[in-house]
Amino acid sequence: MLVVQQIIANKDHYVNALTKRNFDAAPVLEKIIALDEERRATQAKLDNTLADSNKFSKEIGMLFKNGEQQKANLLKEKTAQLKEASKELSATLTEIQTQLSELLYTVPNVPHVSVPNGQSDEDNEEVFKEGDIPKLEDGALPHWELAKKYDIIDFELGVKITGAGFPVYKGKGARLQRALISYFLDKNTEAGYKEYQVPHLVNEASGYGTGQLPDKEGQMYHVTGDDLYLIPTAEVPVTNMFRGDLLKESDLPICCTGYTPCFRREAGSYGAHVRGLNRLHQFDKVEIVRIEKPENSYAALDGMVDHVKDILRELKLPYRILRLCGGDIGFTSALTYDFEVFSTAQDRWLEISSVSNFESYQANRLKLRFKDNDGKKQLAHTLNGSSLALPRVLAGILENYQTPKGIKIPEVLVPYCGFEYID
Position 63 scores a pLDDT of 67
Tens digits of residue pLDDT in 246-294: 999 999 999 999 999 999 997 554 455 678 999 899 999 999 999 999 9
Closest to 25 measured CA to CA, from 118, 103, 86: 103
Q: Pick the more confident residue, 72 or 233.
A: 233
Query: Cβ–Cβ contacts within 10 Å for residue 398, how many?
Result: 27
Where does the pLDDT of residue 106 fall: very low under 50, low under 70, confident under 90, or very high at 90 and above? very high
Q: Where are the alpha helices (DSSP H) in 153-203?
A: 155-161, 171-190
3-state secondary structure of 218: coil
Where does the pLDDT of residue 220 fall: very low under 50, low under 70, confident under 90, or very high at 90 and above? very high
Tens digits of residue pLDDT in 304-338: 999 999 999 999 999 999 999 999 999 999 999 99
pLDDT surpassing 80 at residue 3? yes
Q: Pick the more confident residue, 76 or 222.
A: 222
pLDDT surpassing 60 at residue 201? yes
Instruction: Report residue 109: phi and psi, to 5°.
Output: -70, 150
- 414 Cβ partners below 8 Å, 6+ apart? 420
Domains and CATH numbers, the chain: 4-105 (1.10.287.40), 121-422 (3.30.930.10)
Whether 343 has a binding-site annotation, put simply, is no
pLDDT surpassing 70 at residue 64? no
Position 300 scores a pLDDT of 98
pLDDT surpassing 90 at residue 121? yes
Position 273 scores a pLDDT of 61
Name residue 259's amino acid: Y
- 138 Cβ partners below 8 Å, 6+ apart? none
Whether 249 has a binding-site annotation, put simply, is no
Compute the C-alpha angle 114/119/124, nearest 5°. Answer: 50
Closest to 137 measured CA to CA, from 409, 408, 421: 408
Whether 384 has a binding-site annotation, put simply, is yes
Distance in angstroms (rounded) separating the CA atoms of residues 376 and 73: 47
Across 218-245, average pLDDT: 96
Burial of 38 (0-12, 13-18, 19+ CB in 10 A): middle
Q: Where are the alpha helices (DSSP H) in 277-377?
A: 297-315, 361-366
pLDDT surpassing 90 at residue 60? no
Whether 264 has a binding-site annotation, put simply, is yes
- Predicted model pTM: 0.92
Position 270 scores a pLDDT of 47
Q: Pick the more confident residue, 174 or 346.
A: 174
Q: Over the chain, what is the mean pLDDT?
A: 94
pLDDT surpassing 90 at residue 138? no
Distance in angstroms (rounded) separating the CA atoms of residues 84 and 49: 10
Q: Which helix (H) or strand (E) element contains residue 21? A: none
Position 289 scores a pLDDT of 98
Whether 79 has a binding-site annotation, put simply, is no
Position 79 scores a pLDDT of 79
Whether 354 has a binding-site annotation, put simply, is yes
Distance in angstroms (rounded) separating the CA atoms of residues 389 and 412: 17
Whether 114 has a binding-site annotation, put simply, is no
Whether 352 has a binding-site annotation, put simply, is yes
